[in-house]
Amino acid sequence: MVKQAIIPLAGLGTRMLPLTKALPKELWPLGSKSILEHILDECFSAGVKQVIFIISKNKNVIKKYFVKNKILEKAVKNKPEILKKLIYLNRISSKIKFVYQDKPKGLGHAVMCAKKHIKSKYFLLLLPDDIIKGKNCTKELITINKKKQSSVLALKKVSKKEVTRYGIAGFSNNKKFKINKMIEKPSIVNAPSRYAIIGRYLLSKSIFKFLSKQKSGKLGEIQITDAMNAMLLKESFYGCKFKGKYLDCGTMNGYIKSFIDINK
Ligand code: UTP
């Protein structure tokens, strides 16, 4: 069974500056709870037992969000609905492990930081910018992993114009979604399909071997797509055309639209 999930939270959030200077976007509200709690709900209801948060010293406020605060609990002791929420956050904190990334050296590097904590052959990776409403995408990935015994990536069909903004998957078998290549932000003519890789991955532990061989790119960052491409030559990857509605919380425009959508 897949029981562990990594949630990388150590990025700088530059697209949402200056707001992210003081409050990480993962703690921004989406409906009545934070974006991060939506991600945790998805994990726990899919049977995940431990979540590994990759954070940085600048984002310690994320840790604070989950820590018990006796003064606040006392202040709301006669407001059971609010007290219940505080107690819930503190309770789930026992399932969260905080791991620090010293510098934002890319998503691939963030994942590497969790290496020694991953126990089983497969683990999940969820990016909090991507919220999937209506259906549990993590559950869908786990179902495919059980059937195929392989890594699985969530895929979203995008318009022809949009392929240039995403990592795009190509397939050796279109019907079964067996992936044979991944191209980061291809031009429209070079895109192998219109299926974009979005922020839900179920990965075999061997990804760490490929990540450790990756050289940093132009900006000194280690990218996960490069490591997955190298791994693709040795191990299979399947795509999951998930059923829920995709909400992009990574840009201001996307966040505003997502906020409206989640309240519908
Ligand atoms: P992004 O590259 O989208 O960066 O990271 P970001 O910080 O979220 O936002 P922008 O692009 O600067 O506006 C994808 C995910 O990987 C994490 C981020 O926190 C985000 O969840 N990440 C990224 C890390 O944990 N460490 C890194 O070094 C880079």
pTM of the model: 0.95
Ligand 1 pocket check for 54: Cβ under 6 Å: yes
Ligand 1 atom at minimal distance to the Cα of residue 17:
13
The answer to whether 125 touches 228, Cβ cutoff 8 Å, is: no
CA of residue 11 to ligand 1 center, whole Å: 4
Ligand 1 pocket check for 110: Cβ under 6 Å: yes
The residue nearest atom 4 of ligand 1, judged by CA position, is: 11
The residue nearest atom 22 of ligand 1, judged by CA position, is: 11
Ligand 1 pocket check for 167: Cβ under 6 Å: no
Q: CA-CA distance, 41 to 45, in Å (whole number)?
A: 6
Per-residue pLDDT of the chain (264 residues; tens, 9 = 90+): 899 999 999 999 999 999 999 999 999 999 999 999 999 999 999 999 999 999 999 999 999 999 999 999 999 999 999 999 999 999 999 999 999 999 999 999 999 999 999 999 999 999 999 999 999 999 999 999 999 999 999 999 999 999 999 999 999 977 779 999 999 999 999 999 999 999 999 999 999 999 999 888 777 889 899 899 999 999 999 999 999 999 999 999 999 999 999 988
Ligand 1 pocket check for 8: Cβ under 6 Å: yes
Give the residue among 5, 10, 3, 4 at the shortest CA–CA distance from 222: 10
Q: At what angle do helices 35-45 and 137-148 cross, to 10 degrees?
A: 40
Ligand 1 pocket check for 223: Cβ under 6 Å: no
CATH of 4-262, one of 3.30.70.20, 3.90.550.10, 3.20.20.70, 3.40.50.12640: 3.90.550.10
What are the phi and psi torsion angles at 262 (to 5°)? -70, -25
Ligand 1 pocket check for 105: Cβ under 6 Å: yes
Side chain identity, residue 212: S
